Structure 1
């Protein structure tokens, strides 16, 4: 019974800690059983020596697993370096050998100490409880409290610990309940309050930041279109677009990607929060022909199985500094923002997203063209739908069209005369860029994504070819996140075709091609039109729920468990324990008798039950009769009820959790 209880406590604590890694539950569950190997070894050698042997073997295994990251270093340095590596890795950390070592060694040490501590009969169950607390606090700090957002695991551990003291260890020495309740409260505060107040152990080490000088990848679309059926990568998972890189800065000459990247989950939060409706997606990817530093992913990445992957937190673009190599296999888990059409119909856009609306030296023709195209639109969503339709009308995709996304190239694409190179024709680069620039001109936050369109599954795999490469624009809506539009065909991911048709039917005038204004004196600069105040709403705060409010509840649960544990032990102590229950009741009611008074004298004050219990107490103390039936506990309950009836209402309200009896000797 004792070992089963210890195994349950260790498994709960270990699986909680495993949430700081991605896909490490099996490893941590097995590590939790390492202490039982020490128990078997303790039958041959002293327990201390057995525990030391298991720990030394675990450290040797950890060194062999982690030495690949630093083969030239000595074993002690390699093991010590695993902690900084973990604190600068992605969150959750990939389940690679060098990143698993710190967590597995911690569990092996806790498991060995916990199992060997209960190997001797009559020992207290304090060490397993302390070990579970250490694992829980470690998980809370490594995940900043996200591993147990609702406190369910903490509640499960409290219940398991209570069962240990109430059932498993009823007759052995125990930690005083007052100390136990204080320890539980301290652990709860440490695990909840520290992450809630921004304590981040990763700040103790400097995370690596990778600087990458990357050219604008949009011109590569024409080259990929020319390569046609050339295979670039393979994937397993849902049929979703594969994102290669997101471009958010526009200089007027080209789009630019972020230049610095950090470990996933360690870098700061994105400048615009994720939408309120999301869908999880996980895909397995294998690079076959794709080159460069950009790492394909899906949605907003949450975890990557590569330890050297870096991310731009604002756009979710992934890179590997060493570049892609054929045969590279990995798993990406991300979230896709999936707002409903009705959510977008009345959605607003944030006013502070100036980075995504900046248009340096915007030509007047483009700004006026955007205003004419959206003059009848009521909401940001209607503006986006109208611009998608306008960009697509009378223009055709052409893989051989001139590349570029500058103002001059976009003016040729939109307004060029027939026969002019690039007039009314372009790749996805021109379609997506024209939409994004025109949308910014009327105050919509936009960015451009380079990636690959969804491909059907064949023989269990999805083969992504060069001809599947494309680009699409995205618009940010407050509360719903980034929404994709498709100015090339209008049938891509994002709002449904029915929703767009409904908007276009209301905006019949937008189906006509706007005419660029020609003035005798064209102003050199036109700033984008600001969104009306009634269309602007602040972005959601994104603050997590303050789970520290559950701390008083957990403290009350701890006090109740401690009081119940005391009553169970008093009940097992016969008449003397029953009399201590009476004295506890008197203390709770504020009626502490003088030490000089005798037991019969006090018992007679509470009726026949008190007098009979006093007789049984005297007999048990001075003339015990082995084997005699002494129904003392029912008498103690009757006295307790009588005492409670005489107590004030506020004492009765806190009767079950009042900690004062825990301190009475």
Structure 2
């Protein structure tokens, strides 16, 4: 009987063969998967060129490695199990990424709330963020999700299905998306696409044919050593040839591409200011009326002193805190008109001012680094005060306007909000100003706009002041000196900077209330007159900087004008008079003469000469006396008739206004709520600031509160002014009537009480707004016909 043959010691056991086969299979799957992770990480490196710091490339690389490892770990599991497990791992990784990016960007708050906000605003904030983009939760969430999906798809196609060429497509699409995100906002880099091509070639080269199935999978395959060497040598030589060809051709291809890449940010509308912050110039009068109001605190660090060659006055302007820059003027109001883009902690450089057609841009002066720490007290709105030009901000999320170098906080200001700003404040080379010209052309058209109807007398007034000034800088100095020498600063002056307000301020004599104003009138008058004589100008609203920092109160609020010069940039001017200075009277030659009437004067025939020199008879004298008496009686009758007509008109207006008030207070509960809302609109119309038609109920309530806050209010011990009631509840009731239908907020039987509360709120607001008017406006409040013209 022949015994069965035993395997020799040199033969491999079946179990060992299967182990080696499995190890070879894992190695064959691991290398292409690692190539996929490397390609995805390289796409993150490309996108990180428009991000600040290295956090985004690190998070992208972590997502790529995590997705690939999960795919490899579940390679032998059913395919339907991969997606749920990978999604769960992605959620956990996203929470980790949100936590890390929030800590990096100093964003506080519960993790769940920050994550929800990031998921809700990921794409809009990413496309409207300024470059360099701050890696914070809402700007890293979308790239991480895309990187995870690309790595998972590439690894599944490569490792599970053994399709390495198809597995390169997801990383390739991700890399193309990264290039689109970067657009024209970064310089050309050659080594990244070369490395991407090299990794892709390696991934295809090392991957073998599809793994055999069934019994063939366990059959040993013997490959001769010579064939292995020739294959490896051929692949290496081919790879080197491809890399050399790419290195030689890439520069020629790069130079042949002359088109600028498309920037996706141009297709997304950035956030803009609401109506309450579009024209902060109206706040100046309110600040002047309450000089002790505590707005915020500021502390400084860094070199805030001007250089020895700089002019002291210009240096003082440069270190003021800017709140807003008002560039647009339509003859009625100055407003911001800027685009605020979501920004991170590192802010881009401000856009250089326009140089005009065929003219060079201004050269930046020697910068000064100034650090500010600001803590908000009672300053409201969304505009953030800071010294120009901010380069870095910590403590709050901001949106930034690169054209003006100003910032807003989208969530609004509230007491206790603290942030720090690093400003790189350029100095103005005053030695260039006397010979500097001003730019012209389409690029500066917005800074020369003067509205549709320009008063002729203001144009003549501006030309008279600047007559004889040979250069633009001398014209600007002439306007500055004239306003500072002949006009008076008056904290109690009413607000207003439209053409009628400026004409009253500039041309009316002091006995009639003219030639008195706040910095609002001084800055707006300078800027308007400057544009009338061809000087591009704008108005800046901000605050004087306390000598040693500390509390900034409403008395520090100020507006000042700036003029644009070629080769220098925006230069501030100070048309304000010195404290306690006595204004010089304005010469009559500066005041434009009133145009004579267009109708010819009435001619009188000369009297006939008498042939006798005898005195007139007594009857003529008596007739003359009687004629004078009759003339007096006629004049008295006419005056009495006019007075009676005025009384009748005022009485009629009073009755009509009373009838309108009764009509608004009549009807069912819903009609009375809407009538109370109309009463608020009537009060704003009587105050001279009628509400715009496009505002919603909530926006109109905010507008009404801002108007009441900006209105001057003089406190008296015997007759204190009433407080302004909030209108938020009334606005909610109006929305309930408009959208809920039969009931006010679903209260049913409580509608009558709600209607009465609405009436009381409207009456209190109207009374508070009336109390803030001048005495003659209060006197005419109930007979003003303007509410009768409202629908």
TM over 0.5: yes
Which residue of structure 2 lines up, in the alignment, with residue 357 of structure 1? 448
1:98 to 124, 127, 138: 138
Matched ranges for 1:389-408 at <5 A: 389-408=481-500
1:62 to 74, 94, 104: 94
Which residue of structure 2 lines up, in the alignment, with residue 384 of structure 1? 476
Where 1:399 maps in the other structure, the secondary structure is coil
2:569 to 481, 497, 506: 481
Matched ranges for 1:585-664 at <5 A: none
Q: Does 1:25 align with 2:117?
A: no
Deviation for aligned residue 1:433: 1.3
1-structure distance, mates of 2:43, 2:587:
64
Distance 1:41 1:446, change over 3 A: same
Which residue of structure 1 lines up, in the alignment, with residue 526 of structure 2? 435
1-structure distance, mates of 2:251, 2:145:
24
2:412 to 315, 323, 342: 323
Deviation for aligned residue 1:472: 0.9
1-structure distance, mates of 2:456, 2:595:
11
1:277 to 343, 348, 364: 364
Where 2:483 maps in the other structure, the secondary structure is helix
Deviation string 1:521-567 (CA, Å, 9 cap, x unpaired) is: 2799xxxxxxxxxxxxxxxxxxxxxxxxxxxxxxxxxxxxxxxxxxx
Matched ranges for 1:174-573 at <5 A: 174=236, 176-180=239-243, 197-203=260-266, 212=275, 214=277, 216-235=279-298, 240-258=319-337, 272=354, 275-277=362-364, 279=367, 285-299=374-388, 315=404, 318-319=407-408, 322-329=411-418, 338-344=427-433, 345-352=435-442, 353-360=444-451, 361-423=453-515, 425-456=516-547, 463-488=551-576, 515-519=589-593, 521=595
Where 1:176 maps in the other structure, the secondary structure is helix
Equivalent residues of 1:275, 1:480 under 8 A apart:
yes
Q: Aligned Cα RMSD in Å?
A: 5.9
Which residue of structure 1 lines up, in the alignment, with residue 737 of structure 2? none
Deviation for aligned residue 1:436: 0.7
Deviation for aligned residue 1:12: 8.7
Equivalent residues of 1:369, 1:514 under 8 A apart:
no
Equivalent residues of 1:20, 1:93 under 8 A apart:
yes
Distance 1:109 1:43, change over 3 A: closer
Equivalent residues of 1:9, 1:157 under 8 A apart:
no
Which residue of structure 1 lines up, in the alignment, with residue 784 of structure 2? none
Deviation for aligned residue 1:140: 4.9
2-structure distance, mates of 1:285, 1:158:
48
Which residue of structure 2 lines up, in the alignment, with residue 660 of structure 1? none
Which residue of structure 2 lines up, in the alignment, with residue 504 of structure 1? none
Equivalent residues of 1:35, 1:114 under 8 A apart:
no
Deviation for aligned residue 1:439: 0.8
Higher CA-based Rg: 2
Matched ranges for 1:45-60 at <5 A: 57-60=89-92
Distance 1:409 1:45, change over 3 A: closer
1-structure distance, mates of 2:470, 2:464:
13
Equivalent residues of 1:55, 1:109 under 8 A apart:
no
Distance 1:399 1:80, change over 3 A: closer
Where 1:93 maps in the other structure, the secondary structure is coil
Equivalent residues of 1:473, 1:486 under 8 A apart:
yes
Equivalent residues of 1:302, 1:335 under 8 A apart:
yes
- Counting matched residue pairs gives 485
In structure 1, runs of 5+ residues without a counterpart are: 492-509, 525-665
Distance 1:340 1:71, change over 3 A: same
Deviation for aligned residue 1:323: 3.3
Higher relative contact order (CA 8 A, sep 6+): 1
1-structure distance, mates of 2:587, 2:38:
70
Deviation string 1:190-216 (CA, Å, 9 cap, x unpaired) is: 999989524123356665666546574
Deviation for aligned residue 1:429: 1.0
Where 1:390 maps in the other structure, the secondary structure is helix
1-structure distance, mates of 2:97, 2:383:
28
Distance 1:395 1:205, change over 3 A: closer
2-structure distance, mates of 1:468, 1:317:
19
Deviation for aligned residue 1:340: 1.8
Which residue of structure 2 lines up, in the alignment, with residue 144 of structure 1? 183
In structure 2, runs of 5+ residues without a counterpart are: 1-30, 100-108, 207-231, 305-318, 356-360, 599-791
1-structure distance, mates of 2:275, 2:253:
39
Where 2:280 maps in the other structure, the secondary structure is coil
Deviation for aligned residue 1:101: 1.5
Distance 1:518 1:445, change over 3 A: closer
Distance 1:204 1:367, change over 3 A: closer
Deviation for aligned residue 1:490: 9.2
Distance 1:201 1:519, change over 3 A: closer
Deviation for aligned residue 1:107: 6.2
Distance 1:70 1:27, change over 3 A: closer
Deviation for aligned residue 1:187: 8.4
Deviation for aligned residue 1:444: 0.5
Which residue of structure 2 lines up, in the alignment, with residue 619 of structure 1? none
Report which of the two has the higher share of helix. Answer: 2
1-structure distance, mates of 2:446, 2:552:
32
Deviation for aligned residue 1:396: 4.0
Relative to structure 2, which stretch is displaced further, 303-312 or 335-344? 303-312
Deviation string 1:330-358 (CA, Å, 9 cap, x unpaired) is: 56677756442244332332233333223
2-structure distance, mates of 1:343, 1:161:
53
Which residue of structure 2 lines up, in the alignment, with residue 647 of structure 1? none
Where 1:346 maps in the other structure, the secondary structure is coil
2-structure distance, mates of 1:191, 1:236:
50
2-structure distance, mates of 1:192, 1:201:
23
Deviation for aligned residue 1:291: 0.8
Where 1:146 maps in the other structure, the secondary structure is coil
Equivalent residues of 1:295, 1:319 under 8 A apart:
yes
Deviation string 1:284-334 (CA, Å, 9 cap, x unpaired) is: 644332112434355467787799855666555544565322344556677
Deviation for aligned residue 1:448: 0.7
Where 2:437 maps in the other structure, the secondary structure is coil
Where 2:287 maps in the other structure, the secondary structure is helix
